[in-house]
Amino acid sequence: MDSRRSLLVLALLFISFLVYQQWQVDYHSPKPVATEQAQTSNSQGELTANSDLANLAQGKVITLENDVFRLKVNTLGGDVVRSELLKYDAELDSHTPFVLLNDTPEHIYIAQSGLVGKNGIDTKAGRANYQVEGDTFKLADGQNELVVPLVFEKDGVTYRKIFVLKRGEYDVAVNFEIANQSGQAIEVEPYAKLTHTLVESSGSMAMPTYTGGAYSSSETNYKKYSFQDMEEKDLSIQTKAGWVAVLQHYFVSAWIPNQDSTHLLYTSTDKARNLGAIGYRGPVVDIPAGATETITSKLWTGPKLQNQMAEVANHLDLTVDYGWAWFIAKPLFWLLTHIHDLVKNWGLAIIGVTLVVKGLLYPLTKAQYTSMAKMRMLQPKIQEMRERYGEDRQRMSQEMMKLYKEEKVNPLGGCLPILLQMPIFIALYWTFMEAVELRHAPFFGWIQDLSAQDPYFILPILMGGSMFLLQKMSPTPVADPMQQKIMTFMPLIFMVFFLFFPAGLVLYWLVSNLITIAQQQWIYRGLEKKGLHSRKK
């Protein structure tokens, strides 16, 4: 198979991949919901998103801040109603922190937690309104931990909801300390959930992104559960360990309960308010008279930093979703980050990864072009067979296979390497798509954000030019006139696709093409010396 046909195979695989990705967005992402009457409680007897939010305005909002984020907490319920990520700009060079959790009339995305059950303090009648000494709490210079207690007293029981923020970390400990001085035993059940406006996943065919729920259990390391899934069927899974999360491009919020207890993972929807929630409910906690019990949990609200998330909870790093190519993508990301540690520029790191990948694939590339060269050498004999056997295709096929066997030529030798390289490209595609490290990361000159498209389309044009050059360097023309026309326009078709791709991915493809051109010339020159390659056009 000559290089033009190899390119056609690659193009078909590539376009099929993009169509599949768009199909995933269209058929596995949330759809708009119709307004229906809200329920007042779910199957577990817990407050719905509707009732949870009914009286938020009655509490006051306090601020908790460490060096990486600023949290807004409403004392009514102690819910986290806003998180500002101080290390990430909302827009490139805006110098305004990216807002992940937020509570506005247009968009609700908050992290709620509390105590329900027999002696719970969050009921259908209302939420616990905590008291706190101060309005703003900030991690001081030289301080590594910030502890902020919210206090609520009822019927001789003191409930303390304690937030613990640590320097450099996006996970927050949210613990309940319950001191029972009521004179009799009490029972409570902890819960936590992420409430989000029901929205559709965004993105395009080139850059599909997922916005929706996900969870981990003892049976399933990681599984998405979209807002559409929530509308169709409530999630209900009993599990030890695990977590629940809401994902979006580059960022995630997740509740992680005590990993030694058995919890119920669940979802609920409030269509009247266009809200969905994914959460967990813990086991009943018995607190004897005179005793104090502590219930622990963690809230992650921040970027998808794989190493840090892996330390917070098992499988939380899988929210960086590489799809089926994860076993290739993870080593590639490891390589990308280690090269970046050396060169201090993500664009140069991408070039470094490309050099390594192309170097590792060089034996396949050499086999591909060697096979192509041998096939070209046999073209005169094959043409002679066509003239000799005419319409006798069976005889023609037999003679061709005999010729291939005599000359020790594999007719698929040029195609197989392309097929083997496609999973690597897909893995790189998802690596560049999912890596928050590339968000707003500059390269040189006009490329100030490798995660966004080239603003002047220079890289896609150069990439299209490199494909055209690579095509022209393949000396054997395509016999079929229709194939010839398709191949003539293939660089242009790819260039149009890549106009909307992240600049980092286009940079990879461009550098890969340039390396392929250099490797092709090196291989052909070696074959010419051995008499295996003819330069006849």
Contact criterion met (CB below 8 Å) for 100 and 246: no
More confident residue, 262 or 472: 262
More confident residue, 200 or 26: 200
Mean pLDDT of 212-223: 96
The model's pLDDT over 289-330, given as tens digits with 9 standing for 90+, comes to: 999 999 999 999 999 999 999 999 999 999 999 888 899 999
Mean pLDDT check: name the lowest of 40-54, 122-136, 483-497.
40-54
Per the rule left: phi > 0, alpha: psi between -120 and 50, beta: everything else, 364 is alpha
**Please, which contacts does 74-78 make with residues 24 or more away whose CB atoms are closer than 8 Å?**
74/103, 75/129, 75/130, 75/131, 75/132, 75/150, 76/127, 76/128, 76/129, 76/130, 77/52, 77/112, 77/114, 77/122, 77/127, 77/128, 78/113, 78/114, 78/128, 78/130, 78/150, 78/161, 78/174
Residue 411: the pLDDT is: 67
Residue 321 CB neighbour total at 10 angstroms: 16
For residues 40 and 124, what is the distance between their CA atoms, to the nearest angstrom?
8
The model's pLDDT over 81-100, given as tens digits with 9 standing for 90+, comes to: 999 999 999 999 999 999 99
Mean pLDDT check: name the lowest of 36-45, 421-430, 514-523.
36-45
Helix (H) or strand (E) holding 243: strand 243-248
Which token pair is 293?
């019990």
Closest CA relative to residue 115, chosen from 146, 158, 54? 158
Residue 342: the pLDDT is: 97
Give the pLDDT band (50/70/90) at residue 500: confident
Mean pLDDT of 230-256: 96
Residue 455 CB neighbour total at 10 angstroms: 11
Residue 520: the pLDDT is: 85
What's the topology of domain 59-321?
Answer: Beta-galactosidase; Chain A, domain 5 (2.70.98)
**Hey, where are the domains in the chain?**
59-321, 334-529
Give the pLDDT band (50/70/90) at residue 379: confident
Mean pLDDT check: name the lowest of 28-32, 157-161, 196-200.
28-32
Give the pLDDT band (50/70/90) at residue 501: confident
183 pLDDT higher than 80:
yes
Residue 206: the pLDDT is: 60
Pairing mode, strands 136-138 and 61-65: parallel
| Mean pLDDT of all residues belonging to the chain | 84
For residues 38 and 53, what is the distance between their CA atoms, to the nearest angstrom?
13
Strand ranges (E), 90-228:
97-99, 102-103, 108-116, 136-138, 145-154, 157-166, 171-180, 186-197, 212-216, 223-225
69 pLDDT higher than 80:
yes
Q: Is the dihedral of CA 265, 271, 272, 273 positive or negative?
A: positive
Residue 371: the pLDDT is: 76
Q: Which residues contact 25 (CB under 8 A, 6 or more apart)?
A: 201, 203, 208, 210
Residue 370: the pLDDT is: 78
420 pLDDT higher than 80:
no
Burial of 212 from C-beta contacts in 10 A (0-12 / 13-18 / 19+): buried
| Residue with token string 């005590």 | 258
Contact criterion met (CB below 8 Å) for 226 and 154: no
Burial of 93 from C-beta contacts in 10 A (0-12 / 13-18 / 19+): exposed
Residue 74 CB neighbour total at 10 angstroms: 24
Residue 46: the pLDDT is: 45
320 SS3 class: coil
For residues 429 and 346, what is the distance between their CA atoms, to the nearest angstrom?
15
pTM comes to 0.83
Q: Is the dihedral of CA 317, 323, 327, 329 positive or negative?
A: negative
Give the pLDDT band (50/70/90) at residue 474: low
Q: Which amino acid is at 530?
A: K
Residue 204: the pLDDT is: 58
